[in-house]
Amino acid sequence: MKIIGLTGTVGCGKSTVGKLMHDNFSVKLVMTDELGHFAMKRGNSAYEKVVNLFGIEILTETGEIDRKILGNIVFENKEKLDKLNGVIHPWVKQYLQEDIAKETQLGRYQFYVIESAILFETGLNDMCEENWCIDTCDEIRRERLKVSRGYSDEKIVSILSNQGEKNYFMEHCDFIIENNRSLDDVLRQIEKLLV
C-alpha cells in the first residue's frame, strides 16, 4: 500500500481530488481536518487535554467541545493556537500511524491518501512515499472561495496575496495535479500517476 500526501492552497480543490481518488481507485482517503474534529470528540484522549487547557467554557450543554467558541479563542492568539495544535497534531499523527499499520495488515487498499492543508507544517509529509500538490489558478480559487465558503472579497484578496505558500507546495511536492479544467481532466492526471 503506497502512502500519498495530498495538499495545496485553500480553494484548490483538495477534497474534490481526494474524493475522485477514493471513488475511482483502490484508495483509503483520510482528511486531517475531519480527524482533527474527531480528536476533540468526548471519549478521545485529545478531548480531555483541550478541555484542561481552555476550560469548561468551551463546552456545549451536551459536554462536547464547541469548535466555534474554541476557534474564537485561538483565532487571534498564536500562543493559544500553538497549545491547541500541540494537542491535536500529535493525536492525528498517532491515529494515522495506527490506521496505516492496520490497513497495511488488512490489505484492502492499494493507496492510502492523507489530505491535509498543513501536510508539511505538521510533518505528515514524512509519513508519505509521495506528496502531491493540487494547483488551481487564482481566478478559479477566488470563485470557489466566494461560492462554497462565502468568503468576502477582502478575505479572498488576503488569501490570494500569500503566494509563498503556493510556491512552497509546488517546490516540495513530487507531483502536481492541475485542477483548472474538468473533473475528467483531473481524473486522467490521477490515473497516470496511480496506474
| pLDDT tens per residue across span 143-193 | 888 887 888 888 788 777 765 677 888 899 999 999 999 999 999 999 999
For 137-148, b where at least 16 C-beta lie within 10 A, e where not — what string? eeeebbebbeee
Averaged pLDDT, 128-143: 92
**Run of H or E residues at 80:** helix 78-106
| pLDDT tens per residue across span 18-38 | 999 999 999 999 999 999 999
Residue owning grid cell 484492502:
108
Q: Reduce the DSSP state of residue 60 to 3 states and report it.
A: coil
